[in-house]
Structure 1
Amino acid sequence: MSISRANLADFVYFLAIARHQSFSRASQEVGISASALSHAIKGLEIRLGVRLLNRTTRSVTLTDAGERLHQVISAPMQEIDGAMEILNKFRDEPTGRIRLNILSDAAELLLGPVLPIFTERYPEIQIDLTVTNLIVDVIGGGHDAGIRYGGTVPEDMVAQRLSPDIRWVVAGTPDYLKSFGIPKHPNDLHNHRCLRIRLGSGAMYDWEFEKGKQRLAIAVPGAITIDETRVGLALVRNGAGLMYAPEPAMQPLIDCGEVVTVLDDWASVAPGYHMYFSSHRQVPTGLRLLIDLIREIHPLGE
């Protein structure tokens, strides 16, 4: 079988399905419907004369022939992607699309001030954001990179720091503190109403504190559990209880006097935001330009 444009396109579709093991997720990456994707793969299988995929109602896996094809074409297709990125450097206007999976806090605090400038500077680059606090396989999900706190970046990824370390604070409204008292020690939180935090892994987060060489993790009580900072900010400003949050996210409420921080002498500092991506992929030009702009603007300080 000779190489044609149709076959090359179908190879791209096949590799996307192999990565995601799902027609629906692969269709989101390549930008066509799942039914059109299925039709394209069936056409490729007919032209090749072999079945490449095992399809059931619950899963999509590679056949032996599919595994062999995947082994043979993966590296050349990555080299083609790399060649396109190299050529992109010679354009007057960089083009392409960046797919990012990011924390909601990073979307607001880090990218909110940067992306309007980025799109003005590089109008031909498209940015596709997936904002979630869930722990996901970023690369397997079809994204070019992710943004997470430094301490949560997978070890097999290349990480680029985007912000300084972040201070975490506890705050409540003046009326709440007048009614329930001001905690002087982290253990005092056991007698307060706290907004509990569910991590992206599903586990409950123990609020972390440090003072000198002392380190404490408190499993705080509370009737309300959150997994997203913006919801917590709306709750804390209305007196729902005490909230533990990144100081940059809490700062606007602090500045206008809606909330007051407590336990400041126990505030902990954690790694800041990092961009991370696979070491086995050519880093898209647009992604490098975005990292450079974030470092130029310093939205969270130097």
Structure 2
Amino acid sequence: MQLSRANLADIIYFLAIAKHQSFSRASVEVGISASALSHAMKGLEARLGVRLLNRTTRSVTLTAAGEELQGLVSHPLTDISNALETLNRLRDEPAGRIRLNVLSDGAKLLLGPVLPVFVERYPDIEVDLTVTNRMIDVIGEGHDAGIRFGGTVPSDMIAQRLSPDVRWSVVGTPCYLERFGVPTHPEQLKAHRCLKIRLGNARLYDWEFVKDGQKLEVQVPGAITIDETRVGVALVTRGAGLMYVPERVIARYIEDGTVQEVLKDWAHTDPGFHIYYSSFRQVPVGLRLLIDLIRELEPMGPLPR
């Protein structure tokens, strides 16, 4: 089989399917529909005369021939991609696309102030954002990098800090506090209505507190469980209960009196937002420029020196 443009494209599609083991996820990476990918693979298999993929209604796996093809072609194509990226860095005007998976608070606090400046400065770089609190295999899902709190970054990734540490606040409306009382110790939260938090790994979060070297984790009660800060803010500002939230997210509501902070002397601080990416992939030039711009603008304040 000759290496025509169509065959090269089909091999790239094949590698995406092999990586994700899913037509739908591979289609997001390569930019064509899942049905078009399936049609392309059938054509490639017909031209090669071997079956590359085992297809079921729920999964896609490689045959022995598919595994052999993946091993033979993945490294050369990676080398070509890296070579093109190296040339791209020599351009006067940087171009390309970066795919980011971002925690919703990070999207609001970090990227909200920075991206308008970024697209003005680098108009030929596309930014593809997936905003979610769900913990996923960022690289396996086709993203160049992820942005999370420092304590949740996978240990096998390269991480760079993008913000100072994040202070957490417990807040409620004045009407709620007048009705149910103001807690003065974290254990008193067990008598309150709290907005429980589901983490990206589906585990319920125990609210953390620190004072004078003493650390507490409280399994708070509540009828409502959230996994997204914006929903929590909408609920807490309407008196649904107490919320545990990054101070920067809720600051303007504290300032205008919509909510009041309680347990200030027990406030917990977490490592700030970090961007992370694989040590086995070359960092796209656009990602490097975005990191540099975030550190230049410091949207959440100066980084620790």
TM-score tier by shorter-chain length is over 0.9
Partner of 1:32: 32
Q: Could you tell me which amino acid in structure 1 is paired with residue 104 of structure 2?
A: S
Q: How does 1:79-98 map to 2 (within 5 A)?
A: 79-98=79-98
Partner of 1:153: 153
Q: Deviations over 1:224-272 (max 9, x none)?
A: 1111111111111111111100111011111211111111110011011
Q: Please, which runs of 5 or more residues in structure 1 have no aligned partner? A: none
Partner of 2:12: 12
**Matched residue SS, 2:209:** strand
**Matched residue SS, 1:169:** strand
Q: Note the C-alpha offset of 1:78.
A: 1.4
Q: Could you tell me which amino acid in structure 2 is paired with residue 113 of structure 1?
A: P
**Matched residue SS, 1:142:** coil
Q: Could you tell me which amino acid in structure 2 is paired with residue 100 of structure 1?
A: L
Task: Please give the alpha-carbon distance, in whole angstroms, between the structure 1 residues aligned to 2:169 and 2:55.
Answer: 50
Partner of 1:278: 278
- 1:176 aligned to 2:176? yes
Q: Note the C-alpha offset of 1:49.
A: 1.8
Q: Deviations over 1:148-168 (max 9, x none)?
A: 111111111111111111001
Partner of 2:135: 135
Task: Please give the alpha-carbon distance, in whole angstroms, between the structure 2 residues aligned to 1:64 and 1:270.
Answer: 47
Q: Please, which runs of 5 or more residues in structure 2 have no aligned partner? A: none
Q: Could you tell me which amino acid in structure 1 is paired with residue 260 of structure 2?
A: V
Task: Please give the alpha-carbon distance, in whole angstroms, between the structure 1 residues aligned to 2:206 and 2:61.
Answer: 39
Partner of 1:254: 254
Q: Note the C-alpha offset of 1:2.
A: 2.7
Q: Could you tell me which amino acid in structure 1 is paired with residue 112 of structure 2?
A: G
Q: Deviations over 1:39-73 (max 9, x none)?
A: 21122112222111111111100011111111111
**Matched residue SS, 1:113:** helix
Q: Could you tell me which amino acid in structure 2 is paired with residue 265 of structure 1?
A: D
Give the alignment's TM-score, normalised by structure 2: 0.97
Q: Note the C-alpha offset of 1:213.
A: 1.4
**Matched residue SS, 1:204:** coil
Task: Please give the alpha-carbon distance, in whole angstroms, between the structure 2 residues aligned to 1:22 and 1:236.
Answer: 39
Task: Please give the alpha-carbon distance, in whole angstroms, between the structure 2 residues aligned to 1:295 and 1:8.
Answer: 39
Q: Note the C-alpha offset of 1:79.
A: 1.3
Partner of 1:213: 213
Q: Note the C-alpha offset of 1:200.
A: 1.3
Task: Please give the alpha-carbon distance, in whole angstroms, between the structure 2 residues aligned to 1:137 and 1:117.
Answer: 29
Q: How does 1:193-208 map to 2 (within 5 A)?
A: 193-208=193-208
Partner of 1:58: 58
**Matched residue SS, 1:11:** helix
Q: Could you tell me which amino acid in structure 2 is paired with residue 99 of structure 1?
A: R
| Identity among equivalent pairs (%) | 70
Q: How many residue pairs end up in the alignment? A: 302
Task: Please give the alpha-carbon distance, in whole angstroms, between the structure 2 residues aligned to 1:76 and 1:283.
Answer: 18
Task: Please give the alpha-carbon distance, in whole angstroms, between the structure 2 residues aligned to 1:4 and 1:161.
Answer: 44
**Matched residue SS, 2:113:** coil
Give the alignment's TM-score, normalised by structure 1: 0.98
Task: Please give the alpha-carbon distance, in whole angstroms, between the structure 1 residues aligned to 2:282 and 2:100.
Answer: 15
Q: Deviations over 1:170-222 (max 9, x none)?
A: 01111211221111110111111111111111111100001121110000111
Does the 8 A contact of 1:148 with 1:274 survive in 2?
yes
Does the 8 A contact of 1:158 with 1:278 survive in 2?
yes
Does the 8 A contact of 1:106 with 1:147 survive in 2?
yes
Q: Could you tell me which amino acid in structure 2 is paired with residue 270 of structure 1?
A: D
Q: Could you tell me which amino acid in structure 1 is paired with residue 77 of structure 2?
A: M
Task: Please give the alpha-carbon distance, in whole angstroms, between the structure 1 residues aligned to 2:155 and 2:4.
Answer: 39
Task: Please give the alpha-carbon distance, in whole angstroms, between the structure 2 residues aligned to 1:67 and 1:107.
Answer: 38
Does the 8 A contact of 1:81 with 1:282 survive in 2?
no
Which deviates the most, 148-157 or 74-83? 74-83
Task: Please give the alpha-carbon distance, in whole angstroms, between the structure 2 residues aligned to 1:98 and 1:27.
Answer: 16
**Matched residue SS, 1:114:** helix
